Amino acid sequence: MIEENKKGMLVVISGFSGVGKGTVVQHVFESLPTLQFSISCTTRKMRQGEENGVNYFFLSEEEFEGKIKRGEFVEYTKTFGNYYGTLKSEIDRPLKKGVDVLLELNVVGARNIKSMYPDAVTIFIQPPSIDVLKARLIGRGTDSQESIARRLKEIEVESKDIKNYDYIVTNKVAATCADEIVGIINSEHRRVCRQNLKNLFKSEE
Ligand code: 5GP
């Protein structure tokens, strides 16, 4: 019997600010409890309800730059004046153990991960419409007017990168969108290139 390769898979999720990535991703983890979240480092301020070591590792600029110098990041970027970066340890350890890793990254991070790990599956979450997105951004009340304007500008820039993703899903209802993502992950595991074809003629006895 052909066995699935035991190496874990990288799943990169991106989406515009305010698209509801967090809720969608939460639903994905409920359906796939063995999936591991790659906790990024950031220098941005902690938002209400966030926890250090759960949502992000919240670092000072000095701490972040120290990690850059020591080569601890597989990728990092500076957006909205804050650093964001993925630690090598957050992805290499689980991958070796055969555990799938979900990364929530901006378009720059997704592009960098895909060039380093071509097997990574990249998924872009789009809003049902730009008006719904604007309403969500204003409605969540966590960003200043200036920050909302900056995020809307960023959306324009980021939309040019959508064509580079493997999949695009729409977040109309978070649970439905999450089901689509779970379906993609399960299908990707069935791809022939991810199977261990050497075992085809191996007897099971
Ligand atoms: P937020 O401040 O809303 O949590 O995140 C801002 C943006 O940074 C989002 O698009 C998020 O996906 C992205 N992001 C979070 N962590 C990382 C990371 O480690 N690397 C990159 N490139 N982007 C990240």
pLDDT digits (tens, 9 = 90+) for 81-104: 999 999 999 999 999 999 999 999
pLDDT at 116: 95
Q: Is residue 200 part of a domain?
A: no
Do the domain assignments include residue 5? no
Q: 113 alpha carbon to ligand 1 midpoint, in Å?
A: 13
In a domain, 2, yes or no: no
CA 154–ligand 1 middle distance (angstroms): 12
Q: Which atom of ligand 1 is nearest to the CA of 106?
A: 10
User: Does residue 23 carry a pLDDT above 90?
Assistant: yes
Helix axes 21-31, 174-189, angle to 10 degrees: 50
| Domains held by the chain: number | 1
How far apart CA 24 and CA 77 sit, in angstroms, is 23
The answer to whether the Cα torsion of 177, 20, 36, 103 is positive or negative is positive
| Mean pLDDT value across residues 179-202 | 88
Which of 64, 68, 105 for a ligand 1 pocket mutation test, highest count of atoms within 8 Å of Cβ?
105
Report which ligand 1 atom has the smallest distance to the Cα of 21. 12
Residue 5 has pLDDT above 80, yes or no: no
Residue 1 C-alpha to ligand 1 middle, in angstroms? 41
Distance 188 CA to ligand 1 centre (A): 24
- Cross-strand pairs, 85: 41, 76
Tell me the pLDDT band of 161, cut-offs 50, 70 and 90.
Answer: very high
Residue ranges lining ligand 1, Cβ < 6 Å: 17, 40, 44, 75, 77, 79, 84-86, 104-106, 108-109
Alpha helices in the chain (DSSP H): 21-31, 61-69, 88-96, 107-116, 130-139, 145-158, 174-189
Residue positions counted in the chain: 205
Q: Which CATH number is 62's domain given? A: 3.40.50.300
**Domain assignment present for 102:** yes
C-alpha dist (Å) from residue 148 to 22, 29, 170: 18, 28, 21
- Tell me, what's the pLDDT at 2? 60
Q: Bin 53: left if φ > 0, else alpha if -120 < ψ < 50, else beta.
A: left
Domain that holds residue 65: 10-194
Does 104 map to a domain? yes
Look at residue 14 and give its three-state secondary structure: strand
What CA–CA distance (Å, rounded) separates 122 from 106? 11
Residue 154's pLDDT band (cuts 50, 70, 90): confident
Q: Which residues of 14-30 are buried (b: 16+ CB within 10 A; e: fewer)?
A: bbbbbbbbeebbebbee
Q: Report how far ligand 1's centroid is from the alpha carbon of 86 (Å).
A: 9
What pLDDT score was predicted for residue 105?
A: 97
Global pTM? 0.91
Cβ distance 165 to 123 under 8 Å? Answer: yes
Please indicate, yes or no, if residue 35 is contained in any of the structural domains.
Answer: yes
Give the per-residue pLDDT at 4: 64
**Closest ligand 1 atom to Cα of 41:** 19
Q: Do the domain assignments include residue 174?
A: yes
Ligand 1: nearest atom to the Cα of 104: 12
Q: Other C-beta atoms within 10 Å of 203: how many?
A: 5
